[in-house]
């Protein structure tokens, strides 16, 4: 089938360069798009198997569903995420544009700054720091197994609220993540290609261990979680789980054009990403439930932190291998979902002063300075902050998809999008602020956060991403009709 994506010419690219756009913001010509189906298939595999995701499954088990229903809910969640990622990624793969320019095509050049800053800087940098800290805890266990004396360095002394071994582990892991970020998409492609087979082997082995430890698959599937709530409708619990998984992918899903701009074709990214999520979450759904419940049965205590389960093993070699894979999956998650989008957004905010590599360095330094270990001391405030950012991104995603498919009808005028700031752009369709988009986004944000303040509407906030996405989508299309009549 012939590639129907827009084929930009060198003359067009040169024209946009002369208007002041750096290479990181320019559309990618087809000749420089190197990601095919296999690249997209491996891209998200590592991101699925990270420590926070396993912890989330532990929380899902307390919602009252049976283990098999948790697995099914996770697979349905994967289908939902795949639809979101592939459809929101079509603008990037068709025109080769990054998220910053995709956002501009929706909100306008001025309007794009706030949602871009929230996603690309605030959410991404905060998550980058928190993922680094989470990964450093696994690194600390790993180093402790190889060098027990390391954990005693400094005794009880702390620096800025973290132990000396903890600070060393965090700094090492932070540096590795920054280096992967500096390497960009090319390094990431090679990294994920190596990581994916390791995931199959390690997590498959852990699942087999858990089944044996529990005395078979039957005790795991029939396990009754002590303390689980049974007063919520099972159907609504499914929606809660789907919403939670969508919220995990809210940030990379909003900025997925940063990755799909490198697609050889739109078909490649749609087939590759869909397969990635279905296979990745299929493995994750089975392995996470089996490992967490099997480990709990084996050790006689409900343990929902997978690091604690692995740390209880008798085989040091197995512990080292498992921790290494957890570290690598965290690196993959951090690169795809946090540091790369943060760097690109800094480029968009300061195109004449910051390029991609400078963006990576700046974002990394800020992520260190916010001392994420301190933020983790108060879990309530952290999750309120991150849930608020996630709630913003549901309405942003709903508005972006409604605009691209139903207002623009999948057509973007690149010549107007890459406007020349030296001339009068008063008639440019992407100039200024798209008022209907802003109104829809803000009203939808209020709707999906309303349950935090109005008890009767708590059900809305329990599915905040879905509520925000749907309400913004509907509101925006309605407001467009109203504004267009004026």
3-class SS string, 275-329: HHHHHHHHHHHHHHHHHHHHHHHHHCCCCCCHHHHHHCCCCHHHHHHHHHHHHHH
How much helix, strand and coil, in percent to the nearest 5, is found in the chain?
Answer: 75, 0, 25
pTM of the model: 0.85
DSSP string for 380-409: HHHHHHHHHHHHHHHHHHHHHHHIIIIIST
CA distance 47 to 334: 8
Asked if 440 and 294 count as a contact pair (C-beta separation under 8 A), the reply is no
CA distance 83 to 60: 22
CATH number of 35-378: 1.10.4160.10
Q: What are the residues facing 158 on neighbouring strands?
A: 163
pLDDT in tens, the chain (486 residues): 457 899 999 999 999 999 988 888 899 998 899 999 998 998 887 678 777 788 788 888 888 889 999 999 999 999 999 999 999 999 999 999 998 899 999 999 999 988 888 787 777 888 888 889 888 988 998 898 888 899 888 888 888 888 999 999 999 999 988 988 887 656 666 666 666 678 778 888 999 999 999 999 999 999 988 777 777 888 999 998 998 889 888 888 998 998 899 999 999 999 999 999 999 999 999 999 999 999 999 998 887 778 888 888 988 888 888 888 888 888 877 877 788 878 877 887 787 788 888 989 999 999 999 888 877 665 445 545 556 666 778 999 999 999 999 999 999 999 999 999 888 888 899 999 999 999 999 999 899 888 778 888 878 877 889 999 999 999 999 999 887 765
CA neighbours within 13 Å on the CB side: how many for 292? 28
Asked if 26 and 16 count as a contact pair (C-beta separation under 8 A), the reply is yes
């Amino acid at each position: 089938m012939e590639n129907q994506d827009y084929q930009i010419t060198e003359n067009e690219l040169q024209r946009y360069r002369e208007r002041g756009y750096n290479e990181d913001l320019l559309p990618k010509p087809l000749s420089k798009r190197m990601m095919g189906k296999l690249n997209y298939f491996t891209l998200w595999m590592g991101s699925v198997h990270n420590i926070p995701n396993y912890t989330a499954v532990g929380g899902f088990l307390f919602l009252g569903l049976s283990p098999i229903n948790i697995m099914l809910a996770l697979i349905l969640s994967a289908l939902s995420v795949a639809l979101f990622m592939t459809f929101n990624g079509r603008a990037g793969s068709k025109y080769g544009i990054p998220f910053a320019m995709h956002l501009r095509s929706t909100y306008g050049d001025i309007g794009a700054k706030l949602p871009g800053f929230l996603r690309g800087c605030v959410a991404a940098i905060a998550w980058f720091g928190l993922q680094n800290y989470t990964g450093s805890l696994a690194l600390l266990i790993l180093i402790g197994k190889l060098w027990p004396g390391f954990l005693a360095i400094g005794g009880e002394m702390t620096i800025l609220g973290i132990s000396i071994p903890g600070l060393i582990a965090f700094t090492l892991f932070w540096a590795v993540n920054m280096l992967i970020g500096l390497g960009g998409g090319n390094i990431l492609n090679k990294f994920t290609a190596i990581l994916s087979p390791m995931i199959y082997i390690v997590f498959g082995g852990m699942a087999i261990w858990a089944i044996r430890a529990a005395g078979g698959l039957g005790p795991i599937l029939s396990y009754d979680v002590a303390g689980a709530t049974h007063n919520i409708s099972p159907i609504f619990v499914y929606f809660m789980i789907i919403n939670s998984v969508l919220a995990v992918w809210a940030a990379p899903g909003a900025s997925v054009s940063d990755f799909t701009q490198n697609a050889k074709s739109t078909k490649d990214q749609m087939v590759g990403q869909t397969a990635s999520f279905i296979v990745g979450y299929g493995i994750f759904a089975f392995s996470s439930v089996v490992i967490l419940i099997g480990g709990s049965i084996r050790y006689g205590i409900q343990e929902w932190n997978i690091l604690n389960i692995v740390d209880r093993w008798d085989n040091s070699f197995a512990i080292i291998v498992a921790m290494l894979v957890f570290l690598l999956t965290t690196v993959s998650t951090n690169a795809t979902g946090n540091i790369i989008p943060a760097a690109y957004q800094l480029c968009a905010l300061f195109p004449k002063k910051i390029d991609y590599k400078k963006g990576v360095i700046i974002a990394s330094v800020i992520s260190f300075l916010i001392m994420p270990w301190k933020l983790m001391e108060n879990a309530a405030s952290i999750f309120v902050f991150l849930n608020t950012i996630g709630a913003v991104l549901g309405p942003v995603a709903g508005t972006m998809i409604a605009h691209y498919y139903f207002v623009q009808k999948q057509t973007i005028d690149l010549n107007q999008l890459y406007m020349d700031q030296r001339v009068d752009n008063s008639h440019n369709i992407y100039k200024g602020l798209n008022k209907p988009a802003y109104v829809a986004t803000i009203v939808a944000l209020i709707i999906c956060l309303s349950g935090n303040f109005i008890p009767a509407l708590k059900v809305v906030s329990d599915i905040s991403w879905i509520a925000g996405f749907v309400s913004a989508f509907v509101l925006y299309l309605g407001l467009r009709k109203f504004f267009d009549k004026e």
